[in-house]
Chain A
Amino acid sequence: MSEALLTGAPRVTARGAGRMTGAVHAEWTKLRTLHSTWWLLLGIVLCTVGVGALTTGSLSAGDCLARRTCDEDTVKLSLTGVWVGQAAMAVFGVLAVTAEYGTGTMRVTLAAIPSRLRVLAAKAVVVAGLAAVVGAVSVLGSLYLGRVLVLDAGFTAEAGYPPIGLGDGATLRAVVGGVLYYVLVALLGVGLGAALRDTAGTLTGVFLLLYGFPLVAAMLSDPDWEKTAKRLSPTEAGLSVLATRNLEALPIGPWAGLGVAASWAVGVLVVGWAVLKGRDA
């Protein structure tokens, strides 16, 4: 072969970690260069903060000024929007994978990066990173608005409600947990997308997982079964991490609940990886 042949592209021989960096960079460029990514991420913030503000804005301390008679969890209420925003977050994670199958670019991706594990890991890293940033903006934004609105609603220090602030351990747990929950939902989307490949099918699956469980739990008449269903639900268990009061009324402890959501995300990612590795692209 002639010497002149390979002069066009200076090649950096990437090894080990270098190849993973390249894969992550490629995934980041893929997401960055689609307008839909940024609209979707903006949608997540607006959904979370908007729904949170609606909830706290419509509150009224009204007839429960005495602390013992009314024990509202103002932090959790401020973060109600996570219930809605998680849908958009799941869509974000799902599309990061299924859009590649829909457009046929998955084959281009896998030809450039033959290691299926590296492709899935790179997608997970980039999606998780963006989800963490957007989750933090959403959660902190909701909490800031909530802090103002619950005061307006009468949940004052005199009524037994200290102002919402990150100095409080339980509140900090809710914030960190809420951000992590968003990351886990996005990863759930990535894993399910890799397993199912089809956008419509994956979205149906992820919504059933996120919202179907609580619906089924609510329909179970046996309280033990209901509690078990809630403990297993990625949403019910996972969002218990947002609670700052009445922890004993939760189906599962805050961190344990987040652990359930994490198990779902990891489990689905492993299934997605197995399918990606085992099936023809």
Chain B
Amino acid sequence: MDSIDGTVQVRGLRKRFGSVTALDGLSFTVTPGQVTGFVGPNGAGKSTTMRIMLGLDSADAGEALIGGRAYHALRTPLHEVGAMLDASAVHPSRRGRDHLLWLAHSHRIPVRRVDEVLEQVGLASAGRRRAGGYSLGMRQRLGIASALLGDPPVLLFDEPVNGLDPEGIRWIRGFLRSLAREGRTVLVSSHLMSELEDSADHLVVVGRGRVIADTSVRELLATASGDRVSLRTDARTEAMTVLAAAGATVASTGRDTLTVSGPSAEKVVQLLSGAGVPFSEISAHRATLEEAYMELTGDVLEFAAAPVDEEDAR
């Protein structure tokens, strides 16, 4: 085996489309052996970055390197980088298998490999049907099959979960993890953090063409300040007094509801019971990746909706 280094480096990428700055000095590194989530709101520059990685778009400044080399310098790109940018990029009149066949021919990959990857993504029986009749999920699978064709150490997927049904989402999560376990570099973009919650190990969060966070999932969760307890009680004032005295931060979120940050739910129950304050409902709320992400990207949303009053939103 050639010693192919699967590290992907992005250094100081800049790209403008007319007056819009798509990438504003983007830098990060994607390492082999783990799933790296590439997250950011729509318009953050994720797809542009991936197109530059594949040499499809040119950067105004900076570079994207695969194993230390620019994409154009790769002699057999399908054996080094597998990519799915757009699942619908298939000629609708061509059969799914034929789509893989021409790709295989470009690199003299044997035909049996085409059937192998079709089998691998669960499209073996649909391969001889025209791609125009495929469901979105089947197109995603075909796109993934085309990325796997050359058995590359680096895999780039742009929004692979978009539009999949729950079964498909579960399949793709397991699949991404298994590719990373094999030692490959796996970069997966998404505009929804929740889609990556169970599959990514590392996260590169972007907004407005810049890296906002480059961190492991565990670290990001740890920094999130979202742990809190919701409480419903008729004795609001008494409850607030008792909890505040115990060092908790208490906020009134409604006529008879409180949000408590600091102590655990058990501790809150203990404090209130001890003081004889009645309450009817209590629930613990753990910070999710999504919340941590919202905290990070809250002020850099490209197309943010007008803020909605929290009461109305519930």
Q: Which residues in A have some Cβ–Cβ distance to B below 8 Å?
A: 1-15, 18-19, 21-23, 25-30, 33-36, 99-100, 103-105, 107-108, 110-115, 280-281
Jot down 7 A-B pairs with beta carbons below 8 A, ordered by A. Answer: A1-B4, A5-B1, A7-B151, A9-B79, A35-B93, A104-B88, A281-B57
Indicate whether A107 sits within 8 Å of B78 (C-beta atoms), given known contacts A1-B32, A9-B109.
Answer: no
Separation in Å of the A17 CB from the closest CB of chain B?
12
Residues of B close to A107: CB separation below 8 A: 51, 54, 56, 85-86, 89
A33 to B91: give the CA distance in the assembly, Å. Answer: 10
| Other-chain residue from A34, A35, A112, A281 in contact with B103 (beta carbon distance below 8 A) | A112
A18 to B75: give the CA distance in the assembly, Å. Answer: 11
Indicate whether A3 sits within 8 Å of B107 (C-beta atoms), given known contacts A9-B113, A281-B56.
Answer: no
Which residue from chain B places its CB closest to the CB of A107 in the assembled complex?
A: B56
Besides A8-B116, A281-B57, 9 new A-B residue pairs in contact (Cβ under 8 A), listed by A number = A1-B32, A1-B153, A5-B153, A5-B182, A12-B108, A34-B94, A103-B90, A112-B103, A114-B72
A4, A5, A22: residue with the most chain B Cβ atoms closer than 10 Å: A5
Separation in Å of the A55 CB from the closest CB of chain B?
34
Chain B, 47-65, contact with A by CB distance < 8 Å: what is the 0/1 string?
A: 0000100111110000000
Chain B, 1-32, contact with A by CB distance < 8 Å: what is the 0/1 string?
A: 10110100000000000000000000000001
Main secondary structure of the interface of B (DSSP, over half): loop
**Interface: B174 (CB within 8 A):** no
Residues of B90-137 contacting chain A, CB below 8 A: 90-95, 98-99, 101-103, 105-110, 113, 116
A33 to B103: give the CA distance in the assembly, Å. Answer: 12
A117 to B81: give the CA distance in the assembly, Å. Answer: 21
Residues of B249-265 contacting chain A, CB below 8 A: none
A2 to B151: give the CA distance in the assembly, Å. Answer: 13
Indicate whether A29 sits within 8 Å of B101 (C-beta atoms), given known contacts A34-B94, A99-B91.
Answer: yes
Indicate whether A113 sits within 8 Å of B106 (C-beta atoms), given known contacts A107-B86, A107-B89.
Answer: yes
Residues of A close to B101: CB separation below 8 A: 29, 33
A21 to B148: give the CA distance in the assembly, Å. Answer: 22
Indicate whether A29 sits within 8 Å of B102 (C-beta atoms), given known contacts A12-B108, A111-B56.
Answer: yes
Total number of A-B contacts with CB less than 8 angstroms?
138
Indicate whether A11 sits within 8 Å of B79 (C-beta atoms), given known contacts A103-B92, A280-B56.
Answer: yes
* Contact in complex: B89, A108 (CB < 8 Å): yes
Residues of B close to A26: CB separation below 8 A: 102-103, 105-106
B101, B106, B116: residue with the most chain A Cβ atoms closer than 10 Å: B106
Residues of A close to B210: CB separation below 8 A: none
Indicate whether A9 sits within 8 Å of B75 (C-beta atoms), given known contacts A29-B98, A34-B93, A108-B89.
Answer: no
A18, A29, A35: residue with the most chain B Cβ atoms closer than 10 Å: A29
* Contact in complex: B6, A9 (CB < 8 Å): no
Separation in Å of the A64 CB from the closest CB of chain B?
51
| Other-chain residue from B75, B102, B146 in contact with A33 (beta carbon distance below 8 A) | B102
Residues of A close to B153: CB separation below 8 A: 1, 5-6
A23 to B104: give the CA distance in the assembly, Å. Answer: 10
**Interface: B83 (CB within 8 A):** yes
A1, A13, A18, A19: residue with the most chain B Cβ atoms closer than 10 Å: A1
Residues of B close to A114: CB separation below 8 A: 55, 71-72, 74, 77
**Interface: B183 (CB within 8 A):** yes
Which residue from chain A places its CB closest to the CB of B5 in the assembled complex?
A: A1
Separation in Å of the B176 CB from the closest CB of chain A?
15
* Contact in complex: B57, A280 (CB < 8 Å): yes
